[in-house]
Chain A
């Protein structure tokens, strides 16, 4: 187990190098010098900040040297400061000479996106597991068919359109839920309980809408997993022993059908992070997606590169955690009988 873990962690190093190569390549896609690009699109860019940028990315040095230095900065998680937002540090807080702490942009945005995605995942799983089991137990029955139809629509519906419709219906027509931001204007004056309620009501739509669209994939996955597992010999044995059906399905079958779900959740992380762009933009949630989108619009170069790299690193960490969780949950892998 330990050997597997060490191997798995070491494996991330070449991956990170590859990711850095790709982001470095994108950085050089821009025609000409990126500082020109920045000045052309961002009127706030002064000659001084452009000079800083040239120094920061060592644009006067050969490409190989530039890449080496970029890799070095990445390894120390130094993504520089934003152009557009008054030189705020991109990643983590910095303390200046007078002792003033300026929070990092990713530092502020990341917890919000993580919170939304974790809540969304909880909702998705709570709904998807029973739906998948029902579909598998009534394979080809009306329950299965309606769940299949629902899945197809879930796969096909544009999330931003669903957001618009619900925003209109729940927020504009009925005024049941707030439609933008994560706090109300009077947030500071609310009691602790009021603050929690306020935040939750703001997060309601941004959390629920992606869960609806994500539900389809997970439901289908659980259904297929259950169909596979229910055909296996040990399930027949369990039934032959005279266990009641409920026990067979929910304790014997489901446990094995859920195992691969760990990997699927790990693999869905880049989609979740990427998907946050549209949802956060529509509902004006100050998370990673909105940060990235705003940076793209303003050509705020350090922020784009920072979010891109951190997003990829998060995916790698997520996959690592998923693999560890899988190894922990599956005794066959844990005891080294089969390789994951």
Chain B
């Protein structure tokens, strides 16, 4: 990842906005205990379904818990799931893509067919089916999302390796007798890193969306632990009397996912020499 690319990306106002959004949300989630005025799981029967006020910035839910505090802790969960899931899928994608792109032949055929098969099964069905047989928990969700979203990275890394393999510096290194291991880790992988980062940033966006969808359906993060998705489940319950329970979590998901999408697309634009934004 070179520094110039980063500078070029942040010169794009949309990407900069995305970067700032991500930074703010990371901070809020990281320092959730500092910022949250209440214990997120503290039930207070005297203050059920209170509208937003100076006491409770985002109101309270059906059990009298402070929504703002729950949002902060829920943000932690959403980001953690997003980042770990993408870590898993990227790791799998790099290994399989590298194997396919470097060794080619039957290894490549086998891995690419596996990619095709995985892509033909509706991934949301696959995730739900797996969750149905395991118990829903944060760890399982991260693993399942990771295990069902590595196909894009695999294709990407493979394509990078295939094209890098033909480049002079790789040929030179190979002629000098570099071993496979050395070629992969010192030449091919570092040079494929930038597109991998772009796809990871965009991957976080879709993982956060997936997690919130699963939690909304009750098959993700389990109450009483807060997540943006399961606060929305409550929101649906009380939609006629408590708009704040639906508005804030949805907005947070939207803004977070938007942040990652903006930064990811900005990075992709900065990478692509054909794109028109080279000022």
Binary interface profile of A, 268-286, with partner B (CB < 8 Å = 1, else 0)?
0011011101100110000
- The reply to whether A270 and B121 contact each other, CB–CB distance below 8 Å, is yes
Query: For the complex, would chain B's binding face be called helix, strand, loop or mixed by DSSP majority?
Result: helix
Knowing A18-B117, A158-B254, A165-B246 are in contact, say whether A274-B134 is a contact too (CB < 8 A): no
Given A168-B239, A172-B240, do A274 and B122 touch, yes or no (CB 8 Å)? yes
Chain A residues in 8 Å Cβ range of B249: 161
CB nearest to A270 among chain B residues: B122
Out of B119, B131, B261, name the residue touching A270 (CB < 8 Å): B119
Instruction: Report whether A273 and B246 are in contact in the complex, using a CB–CB cutoff of 8 Å.
Output: no
Contact present for B250 and A161 (CB under 8 Å): yes
Q: Which residue of B lies closest to A168 (CB)?
A: B239
- CB distance B213 to A160 under 8 Å? yes
Decide if B267 is an interface residue (CB 8 Å cutoff): no
Inter-chain contact A311/B257, CB cutoff 8 Å: no
Q: A26-B129, A277-B217 are in contact. Are A18 and B253 (CB under 8 A)?
A: no
CA distance A93 to B253 in the complex (A): 42
Query: For B131, B132, B219, B250, which residue has the most chain A Cβ atoms within 10 angstroms?
Result: B132
Stretch at the interface among A70-78, A149-157, A235-243: A149-157
Residue A204 is within 8 A (CB to CB) of chain B in the complex: no
Is the CB of A139 closer than 8 A to any CB of chain B?
Answer: yes
A296 and B129 CA atoms in complex are apart in Å by 7
- As a 0/1 sequence over residues 1 to 41 of chain A, the CB contacts with chain B under 8 angstroms (1 = contact) are 00000000000001100110011001101100010010000
Give Cα A304–Cα B125 distance, bound, in whole angstroms.
Answer: 9
Measured CA separation A197–B4 after assembly (Å): 58
Task: Enumerate B52-87 residues with CB–CB distance to A below 8 Å.
Answer: none
The smallest beta-carbon distance between A301 and chain B, in angstroms, is: 9
Do A168 and B243 touch across chains, with their CB atoms under 8 A apart? Answer: yes
* In contact, B120 and A312 (Cβ under 8 angstroms): yes
Q: How far is the CA of A41 from the CA of B114 in the complex (A)?
A: 33
Q: B125 touches which one: A155, A161, A172, A292 (CB < 8 A)? A: A292
In the complex, the chain A residue whose C-beta lies closest to that of B119 is A270
Q: CB-CB contacts of A63-85 with B at 8 A, as 1s and 0s?
A: 00000000000000000000000
Q: Which residues of A contact B103 (CB under 8 A)?
A: none
Tell me which residues across on chain A come within 8 A of B125, comparing CB atoms. Answer: 273-274, 277, 292, 307-308, 311
Contact check, A296 vs B131: say whether CB atoms are below 8 A apart. yes
Can you list, as one digit per residue, whether each of B113-133 has a CB less than 8 Å from chain A (1) or not (0)?
110111111111110111111
Min distance, Cβ A60 to any Cβ of chain B, angstroms = 20
Residues in B neighbouring A299, C-beta threshold 8 A:
132
Q: What mask results when residues 205 to 236 of chain B are scored 1 for a CB within 8 Å of chain A, else 0?
A: 10001001100111100000000000010011
A338 CB to closest chain B CB, in angstroms? 20
Question: Known interface pairs A157-B254, A296-B219. Does A270 touch B120 (Cβ–Cβ under 8 Å)?
Answer: yes
* Option from B128, B134, B253, B276 in Cβ contact (under 8 Å) with A293: B128
Chain B nearest CB from A129 CB (Å) reads 22
* A211 in the interface (beta carbon within 8 A): no
- Residue A59, interface by CB 8 Å: no
Report the Cα distance A216→B212, complex, angstroms: 20
Our pick among A14, A23, A140, A267 for the contact of B276 (Cβ within 8 Å) is: A140
Number of cross-chain contacts by CB at 8 Å: 139
A residues less than 8 Å from B212 (CB atoms): 158
Residue of B nearest to A30 (CB): B133
* A281 contacts across to B, CB distance below 8 A: 217
| Residue A219 CB within 8 A of the other chain | no
- The answer to the question of B50 belonging to the interface, with a C-beta cut-off of 8 Å to chain A, is no
Cβ of A168 to closest chain B Cβ, rounded Å? 5
Name B218's closest neighbour in chain A (CB-CB): A297
The answer to the question of A315 belonging to the interface, with a C-beta cut-off of 8 Å to chain B, is yes
- Provide the residues of chain A in CB contact with B126, threshold 8 Å: 22, 26, 308
For B134, the chain A residues whose CB sits under 8 A away are: 29-30
Give the bracket for the number of chain A residues in contact with chain B. 35 or more
Closest to A228 in B: B274
Residue of A nearest to B118 (CB): A22
Q: Which residues of A contact B243 (CB under 8 A)?
A: 168
Contact of B254 among A22, A156, A307, A311 (CB under 8 A): A156
Q: Residue B153 at the A interface, CB < 8 A? A: no
Q: B118 to chain A: which residues have CB within 8 Å? A: 22
| Min CB gap A67→B, angstroms | 16
Contacts of A270 in B (CB 8 A): 119-123
| A165 vs B130: C-alpha distance when bound (angstroms) | 30
What residues on A are CB-neighbors of B262 within 8 Å? 152
- Residues of A near B131 (CB, < 8 A) are 296
Q: Which of B124, B132, B239 contacts A304 (CB 8 A)?
A: B132
User: In chain B, what residue has the closest Cβ to A139?
Assistant: B276
* B258 contacts across to A, CB distance below 8 A: 152-153, 155-156
Name the distance in Å between B16's Cβ and chain A's nearest Cβ.
14
- Output the least CB separation between B177 and chain A (Å): 38
Q: Is A226 positioned at the interface, with any CB of B under 8 Å from its CB? A: no
Q: Are A18 and B213 in contact (CB under 8 A)?
A: no
Given contacts A18-B114, A153-B254, A277 and B261 within 8 Å (CB-CB): no
- Contact string, B29-59, partner A, CB cutoff 8 A, digits 1/0? 0000000000000000000000000000000
Which residues in B have their C-beta under 8 angstroms from that of A105?
none
Q: Does A124 contact B (CB under 8 A)?
A: no
Determine the distance from Cα of A172 to Cα of B114 in the docked complex, in whole angstroms: 46
Ranked 5 nearest A-B pairs via Cβ: A274-B124, A161-B250, A274-B122, A18-B117, A156-B257
Given contacts A152-B14, A277-B124, 12 further A-B contacts (CB under 8 A): A19-B117, A29-B130, A37-B133, A139-B276, A156-B258, A157-B254, A161-B232, A168-B246, A172-B239, A293-B217, A312-B122, A316-B120
Q: List 8 A-B contacts (CB under 8 A).
A: A18-B114, A22-B118, A27-B133, A165-B246, A277-B128, A278-B217, A307-B125, A311-B122
